Amino acid sequence: MDDARIKKVADILVNYSLKIKKGEFVQILADTEAEPLLKEIYTLLLKKGAFPILKIDFPWQAYTYYKNASDEQLNHFPELSLEEMKKMDAFIRIDAGRNARSLTNIDPKKISLRQKIVDPINKERLKKKWVIFDYPSDSLAQEAEMSTEEFEDFVYDACIQDWEKKSKSMDRIVDIMNGDIVRIVGDNTDITLSIGGRKWVKGDGRCNMPDGEIFTAPNEKTTEGFIEFDLATIRGGREVAGVKLEFNKGKVVKASAVKNNDYLQGMLNTDEGARYLGELGIGLNEGITKPVRNILFDEKINSTIHLAIGSAYAECGGVNKSAVHWDFIKTMKNGKIFLDGKLVYENGKFL
């Protein structure tokens, strides 16, 4: 693997995404396969005078936990983890070599329960500076149906960009999308929602890497219509494909998936907020050229939109609360977006 590219990504994460300063406490949660990148990040943080706290996540860990944890352990809230996160100034998550299907045969109710229990920690993380990166490992390459070398090129081409320039180019898109009523029309799709009073946020590499999207929080009770998502996603060890959602007064009143429908239903029943939208996003990263069944990448594909059920981002003005935040992605090569009745986006491009 090209060491120069690893160093460049470490520099982007530490100096561009998080802008780490001397004296800041930085928690790094990472998979073992990302060790080359971890070393570069750890070294860079020390040289900047920061205080890195490294936590390693083993490939077998999640499956072993859910397979063996008792009800008492599943319901136990890790107070120490919350107190530690309160002390942090920044958080870096590096995913890598875990088997994306390792939780396929785990009861989704266990996963949903645990998500609710640890949700206060996740909410505390969102108060900090944070960034997520997927290290190009063998297992992620396999999931993307690429060789490891091809996937490395894919990841680094998507990430190593002039993000300052990209950020400025997004300002025009944000200006175009400032309005109230959004209507999305496409294959098996006709959906309307209100974004009035909400804020569009640029995904310009500050929190995700790769990035390249704009996103907002729909007004919770306004979504009407139906939509079909044509890109599969992997969550909780399951590939969920062919998702269709139907909304009435903001709420998902009908849902189905061609693959792993039971898991979809379980997530929707996690809590009341899971049946309302937390996000509308539009992908803008031209460096991501194909879907790889990885939400971090696929939701940024140029000429796509995504809707997330569940928790809304406060920086957008969203107020929906849920332990779930799950993005579903739709290609828009045959789609249109209208804003307050005016056509602003057609066949994957802004007009």
Q: Render pLDDT for 148-173 as a digit per residue (tens, 0 to 9).
A: 999 999 999 999 999 999 999 999 99
Question: Which CATH fold would you assign to the domain 3-160?
Answer: Thermophilic metalloprotease-like (3.40.1830)
What pLDDT digit, counting tens, does each position of 29-70 carry? Answer: 999 999 999 999 999 999 999 999 999 989 899 999 999 999
**pLDDT-based confidence at 143, cuts 50/70/90?**
confident
What pLDDT digit, counting tens, does each position of 233-249 carry? Answer: 988 778 999 999 999 99
Q: Taking the model in full, what pTM does it have?
A: 0.82
Share above pLDDT 90 across residues of the chain, in percent, rounded to a whole number: 83
Share the mean pLDDT of the chain: 94
pLDDT attached to residue 7: 95
Give me the sign of the Cα torsion angle 31, 164, 306, 273. positive
H-state helical runs in 61-202: 61-68, 71-74, 79-87, 108-125, 138-143, 148-159, 163-176
pLDDT attached to residue 97: 66
User: Are residues 147 and 141 in contact, defined by beta-carbon separation less than 8 angstroms?
Assistant: yes
DSSP state letter for 13: I
**pLDDT-based confidence at 2, cuts 50/70/90?**
low
Tokens linked to 84? 């530690």
pLDDT attached to residue 234: 85
What pLDDT digit, counting tens, does each position of 67-84 carry? Answer: 999 999 999 999 999 999
User: Are residues 132 and 95 in contact, defined by beta-carbon separation less than 8 angstroms?
Assistant: yes
Q: Which of 244, 240, 235, 306 is nearest to 277 (CA)?
A: 306
pLDDT of 10 higher than 90: yes
The rounded distance, in Å, linking the Cα atoms of 77 and 98 is 24
**Domain parsing of the chain, residue ranges:** 3-160, 164-350
